[in-house]
Chain A
Amino acid sequence: MNDIKTQFDITEIIEQRKNLSFITIAKEHAISLITYLRDYKGFSHLVLLTAVDWLEDNKFQLTYLLNNPDIKTDIGVRVKISRDDATMQTAHQLWEQVATYQRELKEMFGIDFPGSPDVDKPFILEGWEDKPPYRRDFDTKQYSEDTYFPRPGRESNDPAEYMKKKLYPDEK
């Protein structure tokens, strides 16, 4: 861990457990850090690549979770990218399967990975025209009501409120 600190410009390191830690790093250095971890530190297995939408900070957070099978340790490399210009360097040259994750992120979050194979092809959704559905400012309920002919007369209850009223009608 110490030589990573000296070699890379790291924003933050969180050691969550003995065998799991998260490194936050700037967008430009992320791929070189991942390459370094893979080639010199034995983190040869990519567990997942996922994104979190921090709408309030106007950021997307990408997490590359890497695993070292020899010492049974995971490292998550976190990258924050701007929501307005959601572009990240591709990492498909390191692991082929990254291209699939990147296709999914492109479709669901609208994060672009220029150069990644087939990144513009539809992944799960066919012919989606609206805003990427996993973005938090996409209103899925509104979209469903506008699109899918909701059946009139359907009622929804908050389960906790409803059961409280039913089981304990006297309590406030």
Chain B
Amino acid sequence: MKEDFKKRTVISPEGKPIEIDPLKDYFSDAKPKVYKPGNPVIEKFANWARANSLWVLGFGTGCGAIEMRPLMTPRFDAYRYGIQWRPTPRQASVFVVSGYLSVKTLKRVVRTYEQMQNPKFVIALGSCTINGGMYWDSYNTINRLDQYMPVDVYIAGCMPRPESLLAGFEKLKTIIKEGRGEGANTYAEKFDWYKANQKKIIKDWDMPDYNW
């Protein structure tokens, strides 16, 4: 475990020594909950609204991060489809995992995904997230993203062009409108299975089980 996460005594601003256990005091260890859809009419309206304002987290993992820049600038202009980029997971609803994930990056991706608010959707970009792509036999990159978090849309290619990304966003919109974008609930239902898979490969697990 890292130094930062160990129990320690610090002097508070009032001058009193207080004991801090970072894993307990800085994070909540409550498990995620399943949220059942309410009134179907309201839910349908809410889904329509969600589908038309997608807030993408600006998090680039691999080479696919390059494809997001032309997408958000005037050449391909994703903003006209109601897609915007946000700098923080707290404000985002779509997580575009752009390309290969090393174990080290996966740890950050899991943390980021858990910090996002419900309902949240995941688009996995490129062959690397589907079956490992050209890094399929590497000692340090994962092969399948759907073992670690629920994925709504896969976009195949190495790398997919911005046009296919736009098609993927359109696909995600139909999925959300049909009420099938239940990734956050799937994650809560199969939480133990996802955690077991994540912990199998992330050896130095120095964070709480669920960090939101």
Of A38-46, A62-70, A147-155, the stretch lying at the interface with chain B is A147-155
B200: A residues at CB distance < 8 A = 147
A151 adjacent to B130 (CB under 8 Å): yes
A127 adjacent to B202 (CB under 8 Å): yes
User: Which of chain B's residues has its CB closest to A129's CB?
Assistant: B203
Q: How large is the interface on A (under 10, 10 to 19, 20 to 34, 35 or more residues)?
A: 20 to 34
How many residues of chain B are within 8 Å of chain A by beta carbon?
A: 22
B131: A residues at CB distance < 8 A = 150-151, 154
**Chain A positions 97-142 with a Cβ under 8 Å from a chain B Cβ:** 122, 124-130, 133, 138, 140-141
| Partner pick for B138 among A122, A129, A130, A144, CB 8 A cutoff | A144
Q: How far is the CA of A129 from the CA of B139 in the complex (A)?
A: 12
B139 adjacent to A138 (CB under 8 Å): yes
A128 adjacent to B143 (CB under 8 Å): no
Q: Is B197 an interface residue (CB 8 A)?
A: yes
User: Which of chain B's residues has its CB closest to A124's CB?
Assistant: B104
Q: Is A8 an interface residue (CB 8 A)?
A: no
Q: How far is the CA of A125 from the CA of B203 in the complex (A)?
A: 10
Known A-B contacts A147-B200, A149-B147; A126 and B136 likewise in contact (beta carbons under 8 Å): no
Q: How far is the CA of A145 from the CA of B141 in the complex (A)?
A: 11
Q: How far is the CA of A129 from the CA of B140 in the complex (A)?
A: 12
B132 adjacent to A151 (CB under 8 Å): yes
Q: How far is the CA of A154 from the CA of B200 in the complex (A)?
A: 22
A148: B residues at CB distance < 8 A = 132, 141-144, 201
Minimum CB–CB distance for B33 against chain A, Å: 27
The 10 A-B pairs at the shortest CB distance, nearest first, are namely A127-B204, A127-B203, A141-B137, A151-B131, A148-B143, A140-B139, A133-B139, A149-B147, A144-B137, A154-B131
Q: A148-B142, A151-B143, A151-B144 are in contact. List 8 more A-B contacts (CB 8 A).
A: A127-B203, A133-B139, A138-B139, A144-B138, A148-B132, A149-B197, A150-B132, A154-B132
Q: How far is the CA of A150 from the CA of B138 in the complex (A)?
A: 11
Instruction: Show 18 residue pairs from A and B whose CB-CB distance is below 8 angstroms, ordered by the A residue.
Output: A125-B103, A125-B140, A126-B202, A126-B203, A128-B203, A129-B203, A130-B139, A138-B139, A144-B137, A144-B138, A147-B201, A148-B141, A148-B143, A149-B143, A149-B144, A150-B143, A150-B144, A154-B136
Q: How far is the CA of A128 from the CA of B144 in the complex (A)?
A: 20
User: Which of chain B's residues has its CB closest to A147's CB?
Assistant: B201
User: Which of chain B's residues has its CB closest to A128's CB?
Assistant: B203
Q: How far is the CA of A142 from the CA of B169 in the complex (A)?
A: 36
B144: A residues at CB distance < 8 A = 148-151
Q: Is A143 an interface residue (CB 8 A)?
A: yes
* Most chain A CB inside 10 Å of its own CB: which residue of B137, B147, B197: B137
Minimum CB–CB distance for B143 against chain A, Å: 4
**Chain B positions 118-167 with a Cβ under 8 Å from a chain A Cβ:** 130-132, 136-144, 147
Minimum CB–CB distance for B202 against chain A, Å: 7
Q: How far is the CA of A124 from the CA of B104 in the complex (A)?
A: 9
B136 adjacent to A144 (CB under 8 Å): yes
User: Which of chain B's residues has its CB closest to A143's CB?
Assistant: B139
A128: B residues at CB distance < 8 A = 203
Minimum CB–CB distance for A138 against chain B, Å: 7
* Most chain B CB inside 10 Å of its own CB: which residue of A126, A127, A148, A150: A148
A126 adjacent to B103 (CB under 8 Å): yes
Q: How far is the CA of A143 from the CA of B170 in the complex (A)?
A: 38
Minimum CB–CB distance for B88 against chain A, Å: 24
Q: How far is the CA of A34 from the CA of B34 in the complex (A)?
A: 64
Known A-B contacts A126-B103, A151-B130; A133 and B140 likewise in contact (beta carbons under 8 Å): yes
B202: A residues at CB distance < 8 A = 126-127
